[in-house]
Chains A and B, each alone.
Chain A
Amino acid sequence: KAGVTQTPRYLIKTRGQQVTLSCSPISGHRSVSWYQQTPGQGLQFLFEYFSETQRNKGNFPGRFSGRQFSNSRSEMNVSTLELGDSALYLCASSLGGLGEKLFFGSGTQLSVL
């Protein structure tokens, strides 16, 4: 069974640009979550989608948005990039029930210059 796939693996952008990150969940998983990890911080929850609907949203500005497609694949978009957006962005999938363990991808390392 293939794991969670995130593309691209690395990304370099400049301030003010926008970026789209992609995530393909494990086959059969209908929930996709996104997390941001920065140096010295834990993983911070961005949002979670289940069957194309956003069920939860973390405390991030509106520049961060996401969506989920009918095949459960998900994209995350960050507009008007700031230096502080440099981070490892992790996608995780699960069956979608409460307390379900998440299966994480290897992440997209975003650097904003």
Chain B
Amino acid sequence: DQQVKQNSPSLSVQEGRISILNCDYTNSMFDYFLWYKKYPAEGPTFLISISSIKDKNEDGRFTVFLNKSAKHLSLHIVPSQPGDSAVYFCAASGDSGYALNFGKGTSLLVTP
């Protein structure tokens, strides 16, 4: 049972434009949300996180928005760069403590 869903398997964006990656979750007990980026043949690397007491968190070009009532979060990348091309995973934790529940990922391609 997938509790974290990323419904867009892929996304293509032009360099300089905004990339918006979406994530939905079903478990209302989740209270920490994280985004990871993964390049082929490498492990995921942490990008940005947000706790359920906030609705927005920014770190440079990356901003995560959380809408608890809709059980939805999104990652905005502005401006998008070709080096951002990777698979992005949304993850959530809180109901079972220390395990992260991951979505299936969205493959982002930023074209020059």
Interface residues, chain A, CB within 8 Å of chain B? 4, 31, 33, 35, 40-45, 48, 50, 55-56, 58, 90, 92, 96, 98-99, 101-107
Q: CA–CA, A90 to B36, complex, Å?
A: 14
Interface residues, chain B, CB within 8 Å of chain A? 2, 4, 6, 31-32, 34, 36, 41-46, 49, 51, 89, 91, 93-94, 96-105
Of the candidates B32, B43, B100, the one having the most CB atoms from chain A within 10 angstroms of its own CB is B43
Partner of A56 from the list B6, B36, B43, B99 (CB cut-off 8 Å) is B99
Partner of B104 from the list A35, A42, A50, A92 (CB cut-off 8 Å) is A42
Number of A-B contacts (CB under 8 A): 67
Q: Are B98 and A106 in contact (CB under 8 A)?
A: no
CB B104 to nearest CB in A, in angstroms, measures: 4
Q: A4-B43, A42-B4, A43-B44 are in contact. Are A99 and B93 (CB under 8 A)?
A: yes
Q: Are A45 and B43 in contact (CB under 8 A)?
A: no
Q: A42-B4, A45-B99 are in contact. Are A98 and B44 (CB under 8 A)?
A: no
